[in-house]
């Protein structure tokens, strides 16, 4: 399994909490690990639900764990984890692959915890505002990038060509998008090709298009980055990173001071790639 850096930190925090309490990592420790990370949406959850850490720790003390459960060895943990924790991580991996992503993130983990039906996990999360927790951590979030002091980064050379799309690319890009991602983005792509200066960049190799990125095409809204996608077989090569920055530098040249990334899925990618910040949700009723 592949994990984002934040997810690896969460697993490490979960392990620390388990060493302090049950000596075996249970799903509740993953939740505590998320609250301890305090970055990105994890920090937002901690701020909006300040009592959650205490609630979870109180329930761990009250819960009767199976003392015969010695757990199982499972990477990347250094101590044993419960079978239910293994199930949670396997479901997170399934969700990640279902959305054609390549790294398990905090959203996949939280979603998998709340879909777990074992006795202990159900008792631990009983009465929590699960839907609002998921709304913060597990659903795609809007992000914002300041372009005021933005500068185009150094891009490593490769055998991949990056260029502005031309009208003649419309048919091949439509075929690529439909094959790799379905038809959900086709209207936005069409909007891009209706513009005189097409706000779409593509990446291609000898075989054809392998990635694309757009701006100002979703509902024809100004200052909105996306959609962006890279063929599954070409992930983790910096293609999305490069396409993102070709769009951002042009958005800055147009005169935008900010770029909004709508419903971003891999939040940590954008946080690292362009210092994007999640736009906070106004949630005030998560107290318990």
Tell me: do 10 and 127 sit in the same domain.
yes
Q: Band of the pLDDT at 282, cuts 50, 70, 90?
A: low
* pLDDT at position 181 over 50: yes
Tell me: do 121 and 106 sit in the same domain.
yes
Q: Band of the pLDDT at 72, cuts 50, 70, 90?
A: very high
The H-or-E segment that residue 207 falls in is none
202-215: average pLDDT:
95
Range of the domain at 170: 144-264
* pLDDT at position 83 over 50: yes
* pLDDT at position 286 over 60: no
Tell me: do 162 and 212 sit in the same domain.
yes
| Interatomic CA distance for residues 76 and 1, integer angstroms | 9
Domain total in the chain: 2
Tell me: do 79 and 50 sit in the same domain.
yes
Strands 277-278 and 258-264: unpaired
* pLDDT at position 190 over 80: yes
The arrangement of strands across the sheet holding 277-278 comes to 161-164, 200-205, 208-215, 224-230, 258-264, 141-146, 277-278
Residue 185's domain is classified under what CATH number?
Answer: 3.40.630.30
Residue partners of 42: CB distance under 8 A and separation at least 6: 6, 10, 34, 35, 106, 137
Average pLDDT over the chain, rounded to whole? 93
Tell me: do 28 and 126 sit in the same domain.
yes
pLDDT for 265? 80
């Amino acid at each position: 399994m592949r994990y984002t850096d934040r997810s690896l930190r969460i697993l490490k925090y979960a392990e620390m909490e388990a060493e302090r309490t049950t000596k075996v990592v249970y799903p509740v420790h993953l939740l505590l690990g998320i609250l301890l990370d305090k970055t990105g949406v994890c920090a937002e959850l901690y701020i909006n639900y300040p009592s959650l850490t205490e609630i979870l720790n109180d329930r761990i003390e009250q819960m009767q764990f199976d003392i015969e459960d010695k757990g199982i060895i499972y990477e990347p943990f250094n101590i044993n984890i419960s079978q239910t924790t293994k199930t949670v991580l396997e479901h997170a991996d399934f969700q990640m692959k279902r959305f054609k992503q390549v790294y398990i993130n905090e959203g996949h983990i939280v979603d998998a915890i709340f879909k777990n039906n074992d006795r202990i996990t159900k008792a631990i999360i009983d009465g929590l505002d699960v839907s609002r927790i998921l709304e913060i951590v597990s659903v795609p979030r809007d992000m914002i990038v300041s372009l005021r002091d933005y500068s185009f980064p150094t891009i490593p050379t490769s055998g991949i060509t990056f260029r502005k799309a031309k009208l003649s690319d419309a048919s091949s890009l439509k075929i690529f998008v439909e094959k790799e991602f379905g038809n959900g983005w086709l209207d936005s792509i069409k909007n891009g090709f209706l513009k005189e200066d097409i706000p779409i960049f593509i990446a291609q190799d000898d075989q054809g298009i392998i990635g694309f990125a757009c701006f100002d095409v979703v509902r024809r809204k100004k200052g909105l980055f996306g959609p962006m996608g890279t063929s599954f077989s070409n992930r983790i090569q910096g293609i999305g990173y490069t396409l993102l920055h070709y769009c951002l530098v042009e958005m800055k040249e147009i005169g935008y001071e900010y770029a909004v990334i709508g419903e971003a899925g891999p939040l940590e990618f954008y946080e690292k790639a362009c210092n994007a910040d999640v736009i906070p949700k106004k949630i005030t009723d998560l107290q318990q």
